[in-house]
Amino acid sequence: MSRRTWLAVGVWAGAAILGLSFLDAWIVHHRELTGEGYREVVSMVGAWRSVGLPVLALGIVAAVATAAVAIAILLGWRRAAPWMLPVGSVLALGLLGATLVPVAQDGHASSVDLSPGWAAFAGIGLAVLMAVAAVRVVRPGARHGLALAAFGFVAVVAGAGGRWALLQASAAAGEAWATGTYSRAAGGDQGVTLTVDDGRYRIGDRWEGSWESHSWTVILTDDPTCPGARGAYHAHNVGPDGADLRFVKVVDTCAEGERAADLETGIWERDP
């Protein structure tokens, strides 16, 4: 095929990758919630949403930019350097290829696994076609070819590592709670106090046991009232200064849900 034909192939491949990027089919987002029960949520995510950012999105941008350079060369723009075609296409291929590497994050009460969807395979195939077209246009020598291969390998490794690090960071936010005491009204003039200290908790004179947390998830175990039960909750910051707590149950079968009812009822205000 002629040089102009290969340039047109690169343009078409970049446009197809851009079109695919708007489909929620690039990443399979698999979340498991565990505790006394088990819940599983599987969804498909696109290139411009949550876990697709920024690595996958940068791969799409690189593909589109490379296609734009091919268009400029076809139009005869002298400032469009042909060497940008193999560099841009290999960068796009490497970053899109990073989505083939499964990454995961495990917490106390939930885990997330990210794996490639069908659009990732289609996009990588198009990126390979774009890279082949770029090589046919520029025809790099052996040394430059090896340099491009090394560049692509670095892009894959960096992209996969970046996706893993960002996934861990997204679940590593600081805890919503702090050691000390919280209080909430229990009706009339009575109040209930939640005390958290040194990996233990106590709620009034009824509940006590071990307290563990990871990000906003709190795990309650070893309660003498229900020694075999494990409670999992999400602790949310509320109140004017964000120091108060609101608990949302993930799962807790302690005393047929009575502990959960105590924790989820009302706002726990931070004591001075």
> Could you give the number of structural domains in the chain?
2
Q: How confident is the model at residue 13 (pLDDT cuts 50, 70, 90)?
A: very high
Q: What is the pLDDT of residue 216?
A: 77
Residue 241 has pLDDT above 90, yes or no: no
In this structure, the answer to whether residues 80 and 126 fall within a common structural domain is yes
- Residue where one domain finishes, among candidates 106, 136, 170: 170
Task: Name the most confidently modeled range: 95-109, 169-183, 193-207.
Answer: 193-207
Cα→Cα distances 108→105, 218, 250, 270, Å: 10, 8, 12, 25
Residue 184 has pLDDT above 70, yes or no: yes
In this structure, the answer to whether residues 71 and 94 fall within a common structural domain is yes
In this structure, the answer to whether residues 48 and 113 fall within a common structural domain is yes
Q: What is the pLDDT of residues 27-43, one digit of tens each?
A: 998 877 654 455 677 88
In this structure, the answer to whether residues 74 and 137 fall within a common structural domain is yes
**Residue 175 counted as domain residue:** no
pLDDT (average), residues 192-218: 90
The Cα 22–Cα 48 span in angstroms is: 7
Domain span at 256? 180-270
Residue 59 has pLDDT above 80, yes or no: yes
- Residue where one domain finishes, among candidates 141, 170, 199: 170
- Residue where one domain finishes, among candidates 170, 188, 220: 170
Residue 198 has pLDDT above 90, yes or no: no
Q: What is the pLDDT of residue 151?
A: 97
Global pTM exceeds 0.85: no
Q: What is the pLDDT of residue 260?
A: 93
In this structure, the answer to whether residues 196 and 165 fall within a common structural domain is no
Q: What is the pLDDT of residue 97?
A: 97
In this structure, the answer to whether residues 115 and 63 fall within a common structural domain is yes
- Lateral strand order in the sheet of 27-34: 38-45, 27-34, 110-116, 103-106
Residue 140 has pLDDT above 70, yes or no: yes
**Residue 34 counted as domain residue:** yes
Q: What is the pLDDT of residue 171?
A: 61
In this structure, the answer to whether residues 88 and 205 fall within a common structural domain is no
In this structure, the answer to whether residues 135 and 234 fall within a common structural domain is no
In this structure, the answer to whether residues 138 and 56 fall within a common structural domain is yes
| 141 conformational bin, left if phi > 0, alpha if psi -120 to 50, beta if neither | beta
